[in-house]
Structure 1
Amino acid sequence: MSPAPDSKQDRRPPYQHAADELRRDILQGRIKPGEQMPSIRELQERFGVANMTARSALNVLRDEGLIYTIHGRGSFVADHNAGGELSANYTAPAWYLANKDEKTGQAEPGEGGSDDTEAAGVAGDAGTTLAEVLTALRDEIRVLSADHQELRREVEELKAQRSKP
């Protein structure tokens, strides 16, 4: 039996092919931690796919913890070690653990709320998983980004008021 042509060997959806190639770029260092990922439009052109297909590829990488997204800014490569794997033994810095609840306004464990287990996991130092910390940090970055955007709008308004005679 002869092998199928290349186009028929892999029947996975196009978003998985795009995610695989982007993952390879990240893990091989072609896109470095902290760098911005290509825009959706650039991904559409690069892979010849639709908008939602490009978004799905980024969602796969986000779910894997390889990238994070800041609303209104784009997607960025998350830190990972040289072996290409995310560290499963990550422990949040002491300053983060000490200030997390007051910064994010999350309830203490046992006080109700939907994120009790997450708050308990992140508040405990040795039991903290990388996924919990990344989720908490992503949420905190989103809040800070929204605050930053609001401050920028206020500054622009003040500048506009000053420039009016």
Structure 2
Amino acid sequence: MSPAPESKQDRRPPYQHAADELRRDILQGRIKPGEQMPSIRELQERFGVANMTARGALNVLRDEGLIYTIHGRGSFVADHGAAGEFSVGYTPPAWYLANRDKTPPQAEQTEGSPDGSEATGATLTEMLTALRDELRALSADHQELRREVEELKSQQSKSQP
């Protein structure tokens, strides 16, 4: 049921191949932050895999912090910077770090100070994480409202003579 791997030497499971392609789509901007991920059924058709394999691919991306799931609504792409910077708490897989382009990462522009700024940094990280979570929830609500508007428009057009 699973498609043959691209290379006979690459014996990774099919869910990893699907996760890799979806990760590329996200990082290259084909699926934008806040957009809903394809459904499990769509992933099954796209990759020619079973239900659990498609779910496994989404689980990998969720564990990496690239997507988040809202029960009853679906999975959505998490926010990341325009330069491909990862969201707070995202840890890219080791193979990605080993194979990405060799450009040096941007240096952080924070200065250490003995006045307890490390504690402030931790608080800032917590605040950013809370804001990110709030934005995710608002994005999901926005998607839901869009669907409701489309449904209302279609009902209205059906009821008009």
TM-score normalized with structure 1 length: 0.54
Aligned amino acid, residue 49 of structure 1: V
Q: Secondary structure at the match of 1:9?
A: coil
Q: Structure 2, unaligned stretches of length 5 or more?
A: 90-118, 145-161
Tell me the residue number matched to 1:133.
129
Q: Secondary structure at the match of 2:121?
A: coil
Separation (CA, whole Å) in 1 of partners of 2:78 and 2:71: 15
Tell me the residue number matched to 2:114.
none
Alignment length, in residue pairs?
106
**What is the CA-CA distance between 1:75 and the residue it aligns to?**
0.4
Show the 5 A alignment for 1:1-165. 6-88=6-88, 125-127=120-122, 129=125, 133=129, 137=133, 141=137
Q: Secondary structure at the match of 2:82?
A: coil
Aligned amino acid, residue 24 of structure 2: R
Separation (CA, whole Å) in 2 of partners of 1:87 and 1:71: 21
**What is the CA-CA distance between 1:133 and the residue it aligns to?**
2.2
**What is the CA-CA distance between 1:16 and the residue it aligns to?**
0.5
Runs of 4+ in 1 over 3 A off after TM superposition: none
User: Which one has more relative contact order, counting CA pairs under 8 Å at least 6 apart?
Assistant: 2
Aligned amino acid, residue 76 of structure 1: F
Determine what percentage of the aligned residue pairs are the same residue: 77
TM-score normalized with structure 2 length: 0.55
Separation (CA, whole Å) in 2 of partners of 1:6 and 1:13: 12
Label 1:125 to 1:69 Cα distance change in 2 as closer, same or farther (>3 A). farther
- Given that 2:66 and 2:87 are in contact with CA atoms closer than 8 Å, whether structure 1 keeps it comes out as no
Query: Which structure has the larger Rg?
Result: 1
